[in-house]
Amino acid sequence: MRHIRLALRAAEPAGPGIRLLTLMDPDGWPLPRWRPGAHIDLHLPGGLTRAYSLCGDPAEAECWRIAVKREPAGRGGSAWLHDALAVGEELPASLPRCTFPLAEGASRHIFLAGGIGVTPFLAMAAALARSGAEHHLHLLHRGPPPLPTQLAALQGRVTLHDTLTGRPGLAALLGPPTPGTEAYCCGPPGLIEAFLAAWPADQARVEHFTPPPLAPLPGARPFTLVLAKSGRSLDLPAGAPLLPALHSLGAEVESSCEGGICGACRVRWLEGPPLHRDRILRPEERETHLMACVAGCAGSRLVLDL
pLDDT one digit per residue (tens) for the chain, 306 residues: 578 999 999 999 999 999 999 999 999 999 999 999 999 999 999 888 899 999 999 999 999 999 999 998 777 899 999 999 999 999 999 999 999 999 999 999 999 999 999 999 999 999 999 999 999 999 999 999 999 999 999 989 999 999 998 889 999 999 999 999 999 999 999 999 999 999 999 999 999 988 888 888 888 899 999 999 999 999 999 989 899 999 999 998 988 888 899 888 999 999 999 999 998 998 999 999 999 999 999 999 999 999
Q: What are the chain's domains?
A: 3-94 (2.40.30.10), 108-208 (3.40.50.80), 223-304 (3.10.20.30)
pLDDT of residue 1: 54
**Cα(124)–Cα(186) distance, integer angstroms:** 13
Q: Cβ–Cβ contacts within 10 Å for residue 149, how many?
A: 10
What's the CA angle centered on 42, arms 39 and 47, to 5 degrees? Answer: 140
CB 19 within 8 A of CB 82: yes
Q: What is the predicted pLDDT for the residue at 306?
A: 97
User: How far are the Cα atoms of 17, 44, 99, 118 from residue 186, in angstroms, in the given order?
Assistant: 19, 24, 12, 7
SS3 22: strand
Res 217: pLDDT: 83
- Among candidate residues 125, 121, 143, the one with its CA nearest the CA of residue 134: 125
Residue of 32, 52, 34 whose CA lies nearest to 42: 52
Instruction: Give me the pLDDT at residue 62, please.
Output: 96
Q: From CA 302, how far away is CA 271, in angstroms rounded?
A: 5
Partner residues linked to 51 by β-bridges: 41
Residue 235 CB: number of other CB atoms within 10 A? 10
